[in-house]
A and B are shown apart, each in its own frame.
Chain A
């Protein structure tokens, strides 16, 4: 098989993972929220409602493709893809096991974060192009929020990067063979989960959607599969930040005390997925139980608390590592 074919297969596999993930996560969200809300969740389509998401996708696909008359047609058309494609790109450097990644980049982490930070561009585009005031406010909120929370997110990942001495996600995970970074980097981890929750626009930080305020914010005028793409991107982002958290803080595919065990190593992708899904469950848990923070509180929290703390942590850890650990 030639090189191009191999690359194509890898990318298709990634796309498949993304889509399957979306379907599974939407079902999981409904079931988890259902349990948290003392109700049942989907249980009509298929056994245990397993086919509910499939039915929804079919519904979305067969819906009329509406575009508001006064919308900026071109921007409106392309915005869902500008949201969706970076979210797909961010899958590429993820390491699911030893030597199991679509592409192994020395700057994989940087690539992933760069891809993630493109998403709000699409959100702003969607908000602006819809020519709806609600969407516009939602889009603008997303922009402000993203700028505010990108900084602590990047600063939080610096701790593990310093410890591993690499931005290659595989090498960061390999560096955690004996000690998960969550223990020495606990402060960075706390900052990471807060910033990640904000970065993926999950409650309590779902400013740009804010159902009770902005109805659905930037996605207001979208229907059918265009909305489907926006929705899918949201779940895909949840997976990415959770997978990144697992890679950076929870030892990726390693099981404690079984790091050399061949069985554990052969199950590496499975372990990685289980850990990632546990992270997603925590995100859904927060989503199901917390109210939404106000937009000015959100920004103030980032600029006045998260960024100073994360910045100091980077400095403290850098000094500690340079002066104490590495003589």
Chain B
């Protein structure tokens, strides 16, 4: 009555012994005891978007607890920056968030400019905004595609790759690089816009309008996809606030904040755009918010191409910058949220200390809380919905 579990140690030995390979229960193990399964998801796993490692405690398919573990892609970018001259840091920062190098570069350039008191020409601001919005599109389409893949839809990923290819071609025409740009420098940008790039951008946007709706119909219009992501991974407004979430993940939980609008930089004060906000905080809201962000980016790029001012693309900046001693924080709205650079200068030619505020890192922090209590399939979708980039998280 009291304890029905078998005490194996008191059982007589097996009458006949199975061949060693066929023995099911190792001797001395309680046959009826159950325990939770600890599963290592990653660092090599197709859906952890890089080298994220999540420890899952499973009861069958149900995730009881989760713990994200980061650091597999740590390259010491912040420390390396301390031994690079101000013009050289951009190369490192491209490799932090490899989907949005231009944003990280701009955040750094803004911090340096504000510290050194450099006046940036208006055209440079506009070029920065233009390239950043193109870069945001290139990053968001990858997110949409991989999010679809997390839910098992293969097709949208290859559809968005077509669009991303065109976007990278445009970025290559402007900056000379496809992902590692090193284009935004303190004082302005590296080179002027090439002739004819505006027609190229306009031609792309005209087809992208249709392509974007097509991708949206393939994913968001699919009932299976909706069933997979609606009411999954709900993050309440308070939780989002407490975890300091950023970007689309935060706005999907009902917090109306966008660095481009609320702490303007580059040309964003002169642009007309909306900040999409949702209130549900589930994966579906994050999907809707990001899709709408893409439409807003398209809108901004049109304005930027049409209103591109004349003038210099960079201010006159000495070859070796020595900002005065002090510290400065500058933030941009990267595709993943508020990306900040905190720069401390001691008046020398290299930064004394540089810290990168990684929005994806703050978003990742919610995984433990959001995944617990869901299924394995949900865990994958929730991680996908946060839009993490491990290069930026591990730095």
> Is A bound to B?
yes
Residues of chain A at the chain B interface (Cβ within 8 Å):
33, 36-39, 72-74, 133-134, 137, 140-141, 203-204, 206, 210-215, 288-297
Complex interface: chain B residues within 8 A of A213 (CB): 47, 376-377, 380
A291 B377 Cβ-Cβ under 8 A:
no
CA distance A211 to B45 in the complex (A): 9
Q: Contacts A212-B152, A291-B224, A293-B227 given; indicate if A137 touches B46 (C-beta within 8 A).
A: no
CA distance A297 to B154 in the complex (A): 20
CA distance A204 to B45 in the complex (A): 20
B151 A212 Cβ-Cβ under 8 A:
yes
Complex interface: chain A residues within 8 A of B47 (CB): 212-213
* Smallest CB gap from B24: residue in A: A72
Complex interface: chain A residues within 8 A of B158 (CB): 37-39
Residues of chain B at the chain A interface (Cβ within 8 Å):
19, 21-22, 37, 39, 45-47, 58, 60-61, 148-155, 158-159, 162, 218-219, 222, 224-225, 227-228, 375-378, 380
Chain A interface secondary structure, helix, strand, loop or mixed?
A: helix
B228 A291 Cβ-Cβ under 8 A:
yes
A74 B21 Cβ-Cβ under 8 A:
yes
Complex interface: chain A residues within 8 A of B222 (CB): 290-291
CA distance A37 to B219 in the complex (A): 14
Chain B interface secondary structure, helix, strand, loop or mixed?
A: helix
Complex interface: chain B residues within 8 A of A296 (CB): 61, 375
A206 B152 Cβ-Cβ under 8 A:
yes
Q: Chain B nearest CB: distance from A241 CB in Å?
A: 20
* Smallest CB gap from B44: residue in A: A215
B46 A294 Cβ-Cβ under 8 A:
no
Q: Chain B nearest CB: distance from A37 CB in Å?
A: 4
Complex interface: chain A residues within 8 A of B149 (CB): 212
CA distance A297 to B39 in the complex (A): 23
A297 B155 Cβ-Cβ under 8 A:
no
CA distance A309 to B154 in the complex (A): 31
Supply 8 A–B pairs (Cβ within 8 Å), ascending by A: A74-B21, A204-B152, A211-B46, A213-B376, A214-B376, A289-B218, A291-B148, A296-B61
* Smallest CB gap from A129: residue in B: B21
A294 B155 Cβ-Cβ under 8 A:
no
Q: Chain A nearest CB: distance from B94 CB in Å?
A: 28
Complex interface: chain A residues within 8 A of B155 (CB): 36-37, 288-289
Complex interface: chain A residues within 8 A of B45 (CB): 215
Q: Contacts A212-B46, A212-B380, A293-B228 given; indicate if A203 touches B152 (C-beta within 8 A).
A: yes
CA distance A293 to B22 in the complex (A): 36
Complex interface: chain B residues within 8 A of A74 (CB): 19, 21-22
Complex interface: chain B residues within 8 A of A292 (CB): 151-153, 224, 228, 377
Complex interface: chain A residues within 8 A of B151 (CB): 212, 291-292
* Smallest CB gap from A128: residue in B: B24
Of the residues A38, A204, A293, contact of B159 by C-beta under 8 Å: A38
CA distance A141 to B224 in the complex (A): 19
- Among A33, A213, A214, A296, the most chain B Cβ lie within 10 Å of the Cβ of A213
A212 B375 Cβ-Cβ under 8 A:
no
A290 B376 Cβ-Cβ under 8 A:
no
A291 B152 Cβ-Cβ under 8 A:
yes
* Smallest CB gap from A206: residue in B: B152
* Smallest CB gap from A76: residue in B: B21
Q: Chain B nearest CB: distance from A309 CB in Å?
A: 18
CA distance A213 to B371 in the complex (A): 14
CA distance A211 to B222 in the complex (A): 19
B376 A211 Cβ-Cβ under 8 A:
no
CA distance A322 to B91 in the complex (A): 80
* Smallest CB gap from B374: residue in A: A294
A72 B21 Cβ-Cβ under 8 A:
yes
B224 A204 Cβ-Cβ under 8 A:
yes
